[in-house]
Structure 1
Amino acid sequence: MDKIDFKRSLPGFRAKQGRFDLIEVPESQYLMIDGHGDPNTSPDFASALTSLYPLAYGLKFFSKLELGRDYVVPPLEGLWWADDMAAFTSARDKSAWDFTLMLLVPDWLDAGHVDGVNGTVRAKGSAPRLGEIRFDTLREGTCVQTLHIGPFDDEGPVLERMHTDVIPEAGMTMAGKHHEIYLSDVRRTAPEKLRTILRQPVIPQDHRG
């Protein structure tokens, strides 16, 4: 049985440091859970992770054993926003951040499969916020993205350039939530080697109204 690795097969999981690409992101389905605050200290962040992964791995093993289709659980992703987006660039005020953590679900799995696996995970009691996870679709369309290598706290200048230079110079304006894709396992990777895709949905400036 071949095992699909979406980091290798999906273009949206590829980016290069120092280059800002304009890409079209197809509609995708995710497991999603919301939270607020500094990801380093927020109880919401830790409990979101410990709830998402049991369901994601349950789906993987269901797909492998029942459907004969195996895959690598995709990288963790996050949507991030704040009332003032300077909280992500110059101020880096993490206490003001809101987030949605997400794990991609392959398109051959549906809500019925998720509900079935949800029951199995609930019986094990391993996911404290299982009831808050939703199975939903994300539609981003046109996006600008780049690869950041290094600590998360060094993202500010890259995002500042993306928001104030790259996007306006392309005749675009921001149209959705800041999106990060964590290609590295933060538990096993030195901060200076962390690889994170930074993505921003955009629309043409003349479509703002």
Structure 2
Amino acid sequence: MAKSTGIAELDALFTARKGRVDFVDVPELAFFSIDGGGAPAGPEFQAALKALYAVSYGAHFLVKKQTGAAPRVMPLEALWWAEGATADQLAHPESFTESDRGTWRWRAMIAQLPPIDETVIQRAMEQARAKGGAIGALRFERWAEGPSAQIMHVGPYATESTSIAALHAGIAARGSRPRGRHHEIYLGDPRSAAPERLRTILRQPVEPSA
């Protein structure tokens, strides 16, 4: 059985500082997730967001109805990569140009906290499925990201390159190197926040340099 994550430990994973690289060890967490491809403004990604929010809020209110209280709905997250990209591009996604967006791959996801369990998950998915959308592509899974570095980016997504460069400089200074996929955590709802007020945690899994 996976070790439970305390509130303080969990909050540290979803807290970052602008201009400063922090290192965290991300334990196994439960997620609703959907895989897809294309630009973030495209219809497939937008349909995935709608499905993820529907089941996440559905699970929240089911637990609240049963117990009178429920864990908060966690922020949207996404992993980003490109099929056939070089190792350097995967480590530095800011190198992708606008023309590359159609080739992007992504995994959109929202973490689910106890006491949300399999029974609640199934009921929430049944309720959301009745509304249509991308529910059929959604799955529930557990994932441990492990040692990672992260930094806060404030402002439009198009200006992330400076923050990403600072993140990778901090990784190198620690004697580590990137592994896995570029990870973004969107604090607040990216569908409605003003671009200049967007707050995004940029996270990169790491491993010791050879």
The answer to whether the 8 Å contact 1:24/1:143 transfers is yes
Unaligned runs of 5+ in 1: 1-5
Counting only pairs closer than 5 Å after superposition, residues 168-187 of structure 1 correspond to structure 2 as 168-187=172-191
How far off its partner does 1:8 sit? Answer: 10
Question: Residue type matched to 1:44 in 2?
Answer: E
Deviations 1:78-134 (A, max 9, x none): 111113226721233322211111111013222232112222322xx2241111111
Counting only pairs closer than 5 Å after superposition, residues 41-80 of structure 1 correspond to structure 2 as 42-80=42-80
Cα distance in 1, alignment partners of residues 170 and 60 from structure 2: 38
Moved more, 94-103 or 13-22: 94-103
Helix, strand or coil: the match of 1:80?
strand
Change (3 A) 1:71 1:108: closer
Does 1:107 pair with 2:108? no
Deviations 1:3-37 (A, max 9, x none): xxx79962111000000011111211110001111
How far off its partner does 1:202 sit? Answer: 0.7
Counting only pairs closer than 5 Å after superposition, residues 14-163 of structure 1 correspond to structure 2 as 14-40=15-41, 42-82=42-82, 83-84=84-85, 85=89, 88-92=93-97, 93-122=100-129, 125-163=130-168
Other-structure match for 1:202? 206
Change (3 A) 1:7 1:179: farther
Other-structure match for 1:12? 13
Cα distance in 2, alignment partners of residues 130 and 91 from structure 1: 30
Cα distance in 2, alignment partners of residues 30 and 113 from structure 1: 13
Cα distance in 2, alignment partners of residues 133 and 7 from structure 1: 29
The answer to whether the 8 Å contact 1:21/1:144 transfers is yes
Helix, strand or coil: the match of 2:39?
coil
Could you tell me the TM-score, scaled by structure 1's length?
A: 0.86
The answer to whether the 8 Å contact 1:150/1:194 transfers is yes
Change (3 A) 1:121 1:7: farther
Other-structure match for 2:4? none
Cα distance in 1, alignment partners of residues 96 and 128 from structure 2: 40
Other-structure match for 1:166? 170
Question: Residue type matched to 1:144 in 2?
Answer: A
CA RMSD of aligned residues (A): 2.1
The answer to whether the 8 Å contact 1:50/1:127 transfers is no
Aligned residues: 197
The answer to whether the 8 Å contact 1:79/1:100 transfers is yes
Cα distance in 1, alignment partners of residues 154 and 9 from structure 2: 18
Change (3 A) 1:79 1:128: same
Helix, strand or coil: the match of 1:137?
strand
Cα distance in 1, alignment partners of residues 190 and 116 from structure 2: 28
How far off its partner does 1:157 sit? Answer: 2.5
**Percent of residue pairs identical:** 37
Question: Residue type matched to 1:148 in 2?
Answer: H
Change (3 A) 1:91 1:120: closer
Moved more, 46-55 or 109-118: 109-118
Cα distance in 1, alignment partners of residues 75 and 200 from structure 2: 10
Question: Residue type matched to 2:203 in 1?
Answer: R
Question: Residue type matched to 2:103 in 1?
Answer: A
